[in-house]
Amino acid sequence: MAASDLLPHGALDGVKVLDLSRILAGPTCTQLLGDLGATVIKVENPKTGGDDTRQWGPPYVMDADGQPSDLSAYFMSANRNKRSVAIDIATEEGQQAIRHLAAEADILIENFKPGGLAKYGLDYASLKPALPGLIYCSISGYGQTGPNSHKPGYDIMAQGFGGIMSLTGEPEGQPMKAGVGIADVMCGMYACIGILSALHHRDKTGEGQQIDLALVDAQIAWLINEGVAYLNTGQIPRRRGNEHPSIMPYGVYETADSHIILAVGNDSQFRRFMEFLKLEGLAEDARFATNPARLQNRDALNAILIPSVQRYTTEDVLQAMEIRKVPAGPVQNLETLFATDQVAAREMSIPMETAAGPVKLLGNPLNFSRTPVTYRHPPPACGEGTQEILSSPSPFAKP
């Protein structure tokens, strides 16, 4: 896209977000909204030092004196494009400050336990009469209803309760969570979709609403094919490590010098793969000629493929598969990933300057031809905008 085609602001320019969330699901959502141009004010508890993730380190950004700041890598991963205010909502003064901010906001997002804000008069039912156009997104572990609604929610709990851990890991190993808080992140993405849908409805009708989103519900929703397969067969799927329940061969294979990913998605790709391995006869063998047959004879096929692939280096296989148009890829660590030309070309690592010093953050993957993602505010120190924001007659005014 040409730079001249880009507007100087994002698609959500002028949208005002009051963020009462912490940890990862809510902050993921509000960072996305902020990247898209919304003005986001993040409320943090001064008694606890702010968002819990400020203490989830190391690593931390080191300040000018060489001491850890309150900017941990975990916190920075989900809190750019926000301004921080320190407010104690347990006080009458704090509650009044929240009402003042909410009165100016289009969106309020919170992740307190169900009913947790009612005692402060900051729940949706309390705010709705005065703010009928407010979009109020409530994220909790199990949702606002149901027998588990009172229970707290954390990512690993959602991955366990929501079934994904039963599908992840080696067949004979422990149930395994994903390496990052993917249940939280996916919940944040669902929240963003719900908020934008509610915003569209509000813009047409003037009517706000509450969005009730459960971490566990979001986790269950992205069980996708495995969840639907169980619901329609009653058969409990088993862990397969890196292998696919419906495609073979598909997974991670050891090479002479490392590992490679192979995703052989159809029979013609399988024939070309076998040509490279000099095993052309397997493509005609009734046990392996079709994908259903290969799935039925998975162990027998792997007994042949595993030692065959081990004869070649990863680069040998990658080059051969690219020529033959068979999907294959490397298994990179983060050092090799962020050194690639692809990451640089797509701007997936971005520099920002915080109050504590320079940092690098992950880029936003959305690329717009007119309303680009912008990186306007680095992750803030706890409460660094309190005085300016709360003393302003227009608290969401751009600094």
Report how far residue 211's alpha carbon sits from residue 304's, in angstroms, rounded to the nearest whole number. 52
- Tell me if 249 sits within 8 A of 305, measured CB to CB: yes
Quick check: helix, strand or coil at residue 357? strand
Buried/exposed 126-164: b ≥16 CB within 10 Å, e otherwise: bbeeebeebbbbbbbbbbeeeeebeeebbbebbbbbbbb
CA distance 19 to 35: 14
Which are the contacts of 68, defined by CB distance < 8 A and separation ≥ 6?
A: 57, 58, 60, 61, 62
The neighbour count for residue 233, using CB atoms within 10 Å, is 9
Task: Classify the C-alpha dihedral 129-140-53-223 as positive or negative.
Answer: negative
Q: Contact 276/320 with Cβ under 8 angstroms?
A: yes
Task: Report the alpha-carbon distance of residue 395 to residue 390 in Å, rounded.
Answer: 6
- Angstrom CA distances, 220 to 162, 226, 231, 244, 355, stand at 5, 10, 12, 19, 40
First to last CA, the chain: 29
Let me know if 52 is a catalytic residue: no
Compute the distance between CA of residue 315 and CA of residue 332 in angstroms, rounded to an integer.
13
Secondary structure (H, E, C), 207-264: CCEEEEEEHHHHHHHCCHHHHHHHHHHCCCCCCCCCCCCCCCCEEEEECCCCEEEEEC
Q: Which residue among 35, 51, 155, 184 is the active-site one?
A: 184
d(CA 374, CA 36) in angstroms, rounded, equals 7
Cα–Cα distance, 28 to 79 (Å, whole number): 7
Which residues make Cβ contacts (< 8 Å) with residue 259, sequence separation at least 6? 252, 253, 314, 331
Residues 270 and 264: their CA atoms lie apart, in Å, by: 6
Q: Which residues are catalytic?
A: 184
